Amino acid sequence: MGDRLRDTMDGTLGHFWMNFADVYNLDKADDGHVRLADDDLFHIGTLRTRKFNNGFGTSRERLPMPDAIYAMTNVTRSIFFDIAGVSQSNVMGERASTQTVRTRGVIVNVPLSALKDDKFLTVELEIPQVTRWAGFTTIREESVPPSGNTGKQYRAQTVEVNPLEVEIRRGFSVKLDSTWHVDGPDDRRTINAPLVVGTSSRTPRRWHDHLVPLLSVQDLINLAHEGFVPAEQARVEFKIEDDGRPRDSARLWNSRLMALPRRGGVSSPESMTRVPLFQLSHIGGVRGLRNWIRLDHDHARATGPITNAYRYGTPGVEVHLIEIATGMEYWTKVHRELGRAWAEPRRRSRRVWEPLPMSIGRHVGPAFAEFVGDLGGWSRMFWDTYNSLKHAPNYEYDPAVVQLLGETGELLLLGALLNRVANNRIPMDALCQSHRTHMMGYKMRKLLGAGEFSPR
C-alpha cells in the first residue's frame, strides 16, 4: 500500500461532496481532481455541469462556500477542511459550471461509511527535535567498548515517558507525550522520538476547536526556538461505528502546522540543537502550556505582535516597534480595567506622566531593568521613538536603533506574557539570562551608557 497522503498531494481524480449527508450519493457528487499546489493549498477542481443543467437560468447567485469537502478518490477516502477560498467559472453568464475550492488541510484514510460524526474527537501532532524543550528524555545512548570477540557496539534505546495532560476547559484537554519511529535503510537506521502534542474532547468538536490550541502550542515552540518549527505528521480520531473491522489511522495534514510559510521571509530556526530561549519548565510545564493557550485565545492583540513573525514574516523595523508598543498599550489597558495597581500610570511631575513601558518594566521584576541597564532611560527612548514614528512625518532616526528598541521591547512584552502564564517572574529572568539575548542587552546598555550587565 502506497502513501495515501503523498498520492493525494501528487494529484488524483474522484467524487466530491459539499455536505456530509450526501456522501456516497453519486447523483449529488461533483466529479473532479485534487492536488497540492505550489501555494501549499489543496486545489479541488470540480465540474458543476449537472447543477448547471438542473438550475439553468434560475439563479445568478454565487455558490456557497462549503464548511468541508468530502471525497472518494482512486487513492483514499478523505475530508478536506480549513477552506481558503472558492473560485468559479460561468457558462453563458449564468450559474457556475466549474468550481475550484482551495483548502489548507486534508485527512486521509477516513472511514466515511462508518462515521457517526465528521467532527474530531482527538488530534495528535508529532513535532520533532523539541523533546528537550519539553523536558522529556526519550532516547538513552550507550557506547560499549570491545571485549574478546565482540566488536565495538553502540546502543540506543527509547525511554518511556509519562504523558502530561491537563484540561483547557471542561471536556477538552491538551496532552504532551512522546513516540518513536525507526526509519531508513538497513545500514543507516535512524531513531526518531518526536514530541506528541494532542488535543482531545469528550464529544466530537469542529476541526477549528482542535486546531487553534495546537497552533498556540506551536507558536510557543516557535518563540522558544526563534523560527517556524513544523509538525511532521498528525493523526485524527473520529467517533465511528464499531463494526470490528481493522482500519488504518486517519492522517491529517495542514499547511498552517506543517509547511514553512513561503511569504514574508519566515525562516526555520538556525539550529534545533541550540539551547532554546526558554524551556517549558520555565512557564510551569503543562499547566503553563494550558495557561498560554487560554491567554493566546483571550488576548491575541498582545500575543500577536510577538508570534506573527513566525507565520507571516517580520515587518520593517518601524512597523515592528509600533506593533510591540501597541501590544504593550493593550496589555496595560486590560489590567488597568481589572484594577491592577501596577498598570496605573505614575506622574513624573505635575504635568508629566512616565512613559507607559515603565509600568510593565517594573512589574516583570528587576531582571529587565538590569538587562537594559536603565529602565527609565530605555522606556523614554522606546516611547519617544514610538510616538515620533506615528506622529512626526519628518522624524529622522537610525534604523539600527529602532530595530534594537523593537527587539528589547518584544523581549519585555514576551516576558510579561510568560510571567502571567507561569504566575511568577521566572520566565523574564530566563529570557534576560539566555545566551540568545546576550548581545541585545550589551548593545542596549552601550546605547544608554549604562555599563555592563552582571548575570545573577
Q: Are residues 274 and 160 in the same domain?
A: yes
pLDDT for 455 beyond 50: no
Structure confidence at residue 132 (pLDDT): 85
Q: Are residues 97 and 199 in the same domain?
A: no
Q: Which of 87, 110, 133 is the last residue of a domain?
A: 110
Distances in whole angstroms, Cα of residue 375 to Cα of each of 362, 417, 426, 430: 8, 18, 19, 18
What pLDDT digit, counting tens, does each position of 44-95 carry?
A: 999 876 555 554 444 455 566 789 999 999 999 999 999 999 888 765 555 5
Which residue is listed with cell 449527508? 21
- Kindly give the interhelix angle for 300-307 and 207-225, rounded to the nearest 10 degrees: 50
How would residue 105 be classed by pLDDT, with cut points 50, 70 and 90?
very high
**293 in any annotated domain:** no
Q: Are residues 175 and 277 in the same domain?
A: yes
| Separation of alpha carbons 291 and 334, rounded Å | 17
**16 in any annotated domain:** yes
Q: Are residues 52 and 126 in the same domain?
A: no
Mean pLDDT of the chain: 87
Q: Are residues 133 and 248 in the same domain?
A: yes
Beta-carbon contacts of 48 under 8 Å, excluding residues fewer than 6 positions away, are 30, 63, 88, 95, 96, 97, 98, 99
Q: Judge contact between 234 and 279, C-beta under 8 A.
A: no
How would residue 418 be classed by pLDDT, with cut points 50, 70 and 90?
very high
Q: Are residues 265 and 128 in the same domain?
A: yes
Out of 42-56, 130-144, 159-173, 209-223, the most confident range is: 209-223
Q: Are residues 127 and 258 in the same domain?
A: yes
Q: Are residues 93 and 136 in the same domain?
A: no
Q: Judge contact between 428 and 404, C-beta under 8 A.
A: no
Q: Report the number of distinct structural domains present in the chain.
A: 3
Q: Judge contact between 105 and 125, C-beta under 8 A.
A: no
**306 in any annotated domain:** no
**455 in any annotated domain:** no
**265 in any annotated domain:** yes
Out of 170-179, 327-336, 390-399, the most confident range is: 327-336
Which residue is listed with cell 513601558? 357
How would residue 246 be classed by pLDDT, with cut points 50, 70 and 90?
confident
How would you write 244-302 as a 3-class SS string?
CCCCCCEEEEEHHHHCCCCCCCCCCCCCCCCCCCCCHHHHCHHHHHHHHHHHHHHCHHH
Top pLDDT among 124 and 65 is at 124
pLDDT for 263 beyond 90: no
The C-alpha cell that represents 63 in the structure block: 455558490
**115 in any annotated domain:** no
> Would you say the C-alpha torsion 379, 384, 389, 394 has a positive or negative sign?
negative
Instruction: Return the minimum-mean-pLDDT range out of 140-154, 335-349, 350-364.
Output: 140-154
Structure confidence at residue 261 (pLDDT): 87
Beta-carbon contacts of 72 under 8 Å, excluding residues fewer than 6 positions away, are 14, 15, 23, 24, 112
Residue 50 has φ and ψ, to the nearest 5°, of: -60, -40
The C-alpha cell that represents 355 in the structure block: 512613559
Beta-carbon contacts of 251 under 8 Å, excluding residues fewer than 6 positions away, are 4, 5, 107, 108, 109, 233, 234, 235, 236
pTM of the predicted protein model = 0.89
**344 in any annotated domain:** yes
Structure confidence at residue 1 (pLDDT): 43
- Coil vs helix vs strand at 404: helix
Biggest distance spanned by C-alpha atoms of the chain: 89
Average pLDDT for 433-443: 95
Task: Count the neighbouring beta carbons within 10 Å of the beta carbon of residue 44.
Answer: 25
Average pLDDT for 379-396: 93
pLDDT for 14 beyond 80: yes
Q: Are residues 71 and 99 in the same domain?
A: yes
What pLDDT digit, counting tens, does each position of 153-187 carry?
A: 555 555 566 777 899 999 999 999 877 666 667 66
Range of the domain at 62: 4-110
How would residue 212 be classed by pLDDT, with cut points 50, 70 and 90?
very high
Task: Count the neighbouring beta carbons within 10 Å of the beta carbon of residue 57.
Answer: 10
Q: Are residues 95 and 126 in the same domain?
A: no
Burial class of residue 268, CB neighbours in 10 A (0-12, 13-18, 19+): middle
**46 in any annotated domain:** yes
Q: Are residues 167 and 243 in the same domain?
A: yes
Q: Are residues 126 and 106 in the same domain?
A: no
